[in-house]
């Protein structure tokens, strides 16, 4: 059973860039059958968060706390500069009152995605650093998300900040605290013990979150057809810029491992949470850019991985790197 679970998890991660978009498509196709099960989304999402947090102990968190400049720079790039770019581009193309602008900004302020850890590992980045940043960013989300939404859209939309913070606390913070506590209680052993069972289940929950939320916006697809010709390229550019911001923003450190880590951190977001928030607190149209990013984020991660490998090969093996401590 353990081998089967680990094999399934490995297969899923290998083909995730196809499975997740495929789950989105299936959600649209079987919308009528899936829609009655949408109430299960928060529970599935909380389990995904718990599974992620189990792999992080206080030791990993201390690593990040010892590098406050890196953590601060990453969060500035991801949650300040990226939202400004998203708002500027969206407002210029669709108008400041468009729900698409809300969706574009929402994509940039949701926490860093757990799949970031997988891509950082494959590309030769700093796994403990990015895992700890994902956990900390998730725990800060009840403060970050409402604050940025209020900053950009206070006069345009009415957001119930209290319920939003409560939902983020339940969906993100509590499972994260429980996961880190379990890691500490087991002295880091729990992840290896439960991974063959929790990892496959969390992947299936992730698929469920994507499919069920796709079914929720399926009724609005017809009115989106004309907008897609503009919206899809805009989302592609925005997601690509988020990757680029992390890479370019850390050039000054002259540390390729750090560039890999931060570029994935700024480029990949917790999209399933974004969809949940968009559908709960905003119009279904605001969820569309977030949903589209599912189709774009993983394929662009593959392209980014290829570019990073090419850059590593071109870099002379004789050149040294200054690693941040």
Q: How many residues does the chain have?
A: 325
Return the HEC string of 137-186: HHHHHHHHHHHHHHHHHCCCCCCCHHHHHHHHHHHHHHHHHHHHHHHHHC
Helical residues (DSSP H) of 55-126, grouped into ranges? 58-65, 68-76, 82-94, 99-109, 115-123
Residue 112 pairs in a beta bridge with 269
The residue assigned the tokens 């599935």 is 44
CA distance 316 to 309: 13
Q: How many CA atoms lie within 13 A of 261 on its CB side?
A: 25
Are 114 and 132 in contact, with CB atoms under 8 Å apart?
A: no
What does the longest C-alpha to C-alpha distance in the chain come to?
Answer: 60
pLDDT digits (tens, 9 = 90+) for 286-323: 888 887 887 788 788 888 888 888 887 776 454 554 44
CATH number of 2-311: 1.20.1530.20
Q: What are phi and psi of 112, to 5 degrees?
A: -60, 145
pLDDT digits (tens, 9 = 90+) for 251-296: 988 888 899 999 999 998 887 788 778 877 887 788 888 878 877 8
Helix (H) or strand (E) holding 97: none
Six token digits for residue 152: 């950009």
Are 48 and 206 in contact, with CB atoms under 8 Å apart?
A: yes
For the ranges 67-81, 95-109, 220-234, the lowest mean pLDDT is seen at: 220-234
pLDDT digits (tens, 9 = 90+) for 127-138: 888 888 888 888
């Amino acid at each position: 059973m353990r081998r089967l679970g680990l094999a399934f998890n490995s297969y899923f991660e290998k083909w995730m860039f196809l499975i997740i978009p495929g789950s989105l498509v299936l959600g649209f196709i079987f919308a009528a059958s899936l829609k009655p099960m949408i109430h299960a989304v928060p529970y599935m999402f909380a389990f995904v968060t718990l599974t992620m947090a189990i792999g992080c102990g206080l030791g990993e968190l201390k690593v990040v706390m010892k590098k406050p400049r890196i953590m601060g720079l990453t969060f500035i790039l991801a949650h300040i500069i990226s939202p400004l770019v998203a708002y500027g581009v969206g407002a210029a193309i669709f108008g400041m009152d468009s729900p698409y602008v809300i969706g574009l900004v929402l994509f940039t302020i949701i926490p860093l995605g757990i799949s970031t850890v997988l891509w950082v590992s494959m590309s030769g980045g700093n796994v403990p650093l990015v895992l700890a940043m994902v956990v900390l960013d998730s725990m800060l989300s009840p403060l970050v998300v409402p604050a940025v939404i209020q900053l950009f859209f206070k006069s345009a939309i009415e957001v119930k900040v209290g319920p939003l913070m409560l939902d983020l606390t339940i969906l993100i913070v509590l499972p994260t605290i429980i996961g880190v506590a379990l890691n500490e209680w087991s002295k880091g052993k729990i992840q290896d013990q439960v991974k063959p069972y929790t990892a496959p289940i969390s992947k299936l929950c992730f698929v469920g979150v994507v499919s069920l939320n796709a079914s929720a916006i399926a009724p609005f697809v017809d009115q989106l057809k004309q907008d897609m010709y503009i919206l899809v390229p805009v989302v592609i550019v925005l997601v690509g810029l988020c990757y680029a911001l992390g890479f370019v923003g850390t050039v000054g450190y002259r540390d390729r491992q750090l560039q890999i880590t931060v570029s994935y951190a700024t480029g990949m977001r917790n999209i399933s949470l974004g969809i949940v928030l968009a559908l709960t607190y905003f119009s279904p149209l605001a969820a569309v850019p977030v949903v589209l990013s599912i189709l774009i984020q993983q394929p662009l991660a593959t392209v980014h991985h290829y570019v990073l490998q090419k850059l590593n090969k071109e870099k002379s093996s004789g050149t040294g790197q200054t690693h941040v401590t």
